Amino acid sequence: MKLISKSSEGLHGEIKIPGDKSISHRALICASISDGTSKISNLQESEDVINTLNSLKQLGISIYKKNDSYFVEGKGFRGLKESKKQLYFGNSGTGIRLMSGLLSIQDFPSSLTGDESLSKRPMKRIIEPLIKMGVNICGSKENTLPLQITPSENIDGINYEMPVASAQVKSAILFAGLGAQGDTKIIEHSTSRDHTERMFEYFGASINYSEKETVLKKTDKFTPQIIEIPGDFSSSAFFIVAALILKNSDITLREVGMNPTRIALLNKLIEMGGDIQVFNHSSFGKEPIADLNIKSSVLNSCEVSSDDVANLIDELPILFVASSFAEGISSFKEIEELKHKESDRLKAMQAGLDKMKVKNFLDGDVFCIEGMGKDFKSPNFLAETFYDHRIAMSFAIAGLNSSSSIEISSPESINTSFPEFIDLGNRLGCNFEVS
């Protein structure tokens, strides 16, 4: 597959963004351990989510699709069955870390693995707290995949202070906490995504949570639910930035998830001068949604503090692109976590920005980008993506504001999170050419 992103004259129209990836994982897992059948609408059908779905099927859960909705026949907290083969999660850090917590409380052994990229990502951050709870879990000598989990005699609740803000680590602990003796308490210094807390609450868990603290009390069961999944804000981010940096653009995105722990990018782009209107506020279950209207804008530089990073981490690559077309120098503090995603995203983005002829540099722990302004047109080049979906989509958006085009390497990586990206983009006026 070959993807070339060509210069566009502007974006127009409205679309509905596919379901949120983070919420889709959690909906499938929580439905699988409820006591009865749940219905899930607008489930994201990316490779990451389908790998979680297939793993749950391997563990004995019946999941089927009917009239565009998925039905999940839950079997309770301890109703999973041993898989006859290794559980494969592809590129999904969310899927493997959440399922590690849940499999910790089962009475059978499990082996979890992923693709080459996921196999390099750090798993010590979930291994350590789970071991403190009494879980028998281990990884490779380097604390990477595969993960091996064997039954534990006793799992105890934990008071755990998070060393690094991570919704995946927090969620692994919470899923293990469903089978623990005593309360599970998690303290965060920087707020991470709270989709697991909201989903647990929706399924009937005894859970209290705030920006800095989450407490899960003894919960005997989940009650099956009807779940409507909001549009994925992280997917929306690419078209939001595209409309802002392209002249003559005016687009509307419908039913986008507006969870406060997810919209740091939206707030940052508005601070930069982005013409973004938020309206039709509503909710799907415990998750807020709204429609967004985005128009061409003159953007100013931004400052991202260390406190911003946890809720901007997935959107930093596309924010780097927005900053390249802004006025002034943008700064990003303490973004070390970018090096431990699907690729070393900081290195990948630096390489691409260099090819774009956008000056960027590290000043201690601060990454800086000298914006080229609203009239800047990127030169033509081949963007190396290191098989990272967010790098691929970020440079595809940059290509829309190029002198001619940007070719994207390994564009098939986009399927891990947003397989509809090219088709929906072209509907809005993007100039994506696939061959």
Tell me, rounded to whole angstroms, the distance of Cα 273 from its chain centroid.
25
- What tens digit of pLDDT does each residue of 5-58 get? 999 999 999 999 999 999 999 999 999 999 999 999 999 999 999 999 999 999
Q: Could you say which DSSP state residue 415 is in?
A: G
Is the domain of 398 the same as that of 289? yes
The arithmetic mean of pLDDT across residues 258-265, rounded, is 96
Residue 306 has pLDDT above 90, yes or no: no
Is the domain of 10 the same as that of 28? no
Listed residue (97, 99, 98) closest to 83, CA to CA: 99
Q: In whole angstroms, what is the distance from residue 199 CA to residue 102 CA?
A: 15
Mean pLDDT taken over the chain: 96
Q: In whole angstroms, what is the distance from residue 335 CA to residue 315 CA?
A: 12
Q: In whole angstroms, what is the distance from residue 66 CA to residue 69 CA?
A: 5
pLDDT at residue 190 in the model: 85
pLDDT at residue 111 in the model: 98
- Give Cα separations from 125 to 97, 113, 162, 216 (angstroms): 10, 16, 9, 20
Listed residue (227, 271, 279, 284) closest to 253, CA to CA: 279
Is the domain of 108 the same as that of 219? yes
CATH code at 137? 3.65.10.10
pLDDT at residue 350 in the model: 96
* Residues designated as active site: 314
Q: Name the pLDDT band for 165 (thresholds 50, 70, 90).
A: confident
Structural domains in the chain (count): 2
Domain boundary among 175, 200, 228: 228
pLDDT at residue 164 in the model: 87
3-state secondary structure 96-138: HHHHHHHHCCCCCCEEEECCCCHHHCCCHHHHHHHHHCCCEEE
Q: What values do phi and psi take at 5, rounded to 5?
A: -100, 115
Domain boundary among 211, 228, 245: 228
Is the domain of 285 the same as that of 404? yes
Is the domain of 221 the same as that of 249? no
- Give Cα separations from 106 to 79, 152, 181, 418 (angstroms): 8, 8, 14, 32
pLDDT at residue 343 in the model: 83
| The two three-digit tokens of residue 102, written as one number | 């849940």
The arithmetic mean of pLDDT across residues 157-171, rounded, is 95
What percent of the chain lies above the pLDDT cut of 70?
Answer: 100
Q: Which one is predicted more confidently, 165 or 195?
A: 195
Torsional sign, CA 127, 130, 134, 136: negative
Contact assessment for residue 316 and residue 335, using Cβ atoms and an 8 Å cutoff: yes
Contact assessment for residue 318 and residue 349, using Cβ atoms and an 8 Å cutoff: no
Domain boundary among 228, 246, 269: 228
Q: In whole angstroms, what is the distance from residue 241 CA to residue 296 CA?
A: 9
279-315 residues labelled b (16+ CB within 10 A) or e (exposed): eeeeebbbbbbbbbebebbbbebbebebebbbbbbbb
- What tens digit of pLDDT does each residue of 353-373 get? 999 999 999 888 899 999 999
User: Would you call 66 exposed, middle or buried from its count of C-beta atoms within 10 A (0-12, 13-18, 19+)?
Assistant: exposed
Is the domain of 135 the same as that of 158? yes
Is the domain of 170 the same as that of 292? no
- Give Cα separations from 238 to 177, 179, 253, 368, 396 (angstroms): 36, 39, 11, 21, 9
pLDDT at residue 338 in the model: 86
Neighbours of 121 (CB within 10 A): 17
Residue 199 has pLDDT above 90, yes or no: yes
The arithmetic mean of pLDDT across residues 397-419, rounded, is 97
Residue 399 has pLDDT above 90, yes or no: yes
> How far from each other are the two terminal CA atoms of the chain, in whole angstroms?
6
Q: In whole angstroms, what is the distance from residue 22 CA to residue 113 CA?
A: 19
User: Would you call 124 exposed, middle or buried from its count of C-beta atoms within 10 A (0-12, 13-18, 19+)?
Assistant: exposed
The arithmetic mean of pLDDT across residues 171-182, rounded, is 97
Is the domain of 194 the same as that of 250? no
What percent of the chain lies above the pLDDT cut of 90?
Answer: 92
Is the domain of 222 the same as that of 306? no
Is the domain of 202 the same as that of 235? no
Is the domain of 143 the same as that of 255? no
Is the domain of 202 the same as that of 239? no
pTM listed for this prediction:
0.95
- 187 lies in which domain range? 21-228
